[in-house]
Amino acid sequence: MSATWIRSSYSDGQGGNCVEWAPGRVCGGGAVPVRDSKDTTRAALAFSPAAWAAFVEDMKRDER
């Protein structure tokens, strides 16, 4: 099954710190799939919606 992956705006343009997530794709239990875009052959990690939301909010706080 294919997914549309979105690269995080926090990823740098030099090929490092690249995180992607697949909006609309739901893993078991409603988990959000996240992967390392530098190695897309590896399995994605699955985070609960609450854990993913907390991570995103933490990243936004660190940006300020």
Query: Rounded to whole angstroms, how far apart are CA atoms 51 and 33?
Result: 12
Q: Would you write out the chain's pLDDT as a tens digit for each of its 64 residues?
A: 567 888 877 666 665 668 888 877 666 677 888 988 888 888 889 898 889 889 888 888 876 5
pLDDT confidence of residue 54: 92
Each domain of the chain, given as residue ranges in start order, spans: 6-63
Q: What is the model's pLDDT at position 49?
A: 86
Dihedrals phi, psi of 34, to nearest 5 degrees: -135, 140
| pTM beyond 0.75, yes or no | no
List CB contacts of 3: < 8 A, sequence separation 6 or more: 22, 24, 25, 33
Tell me what pLDDT residue 26 has: 64
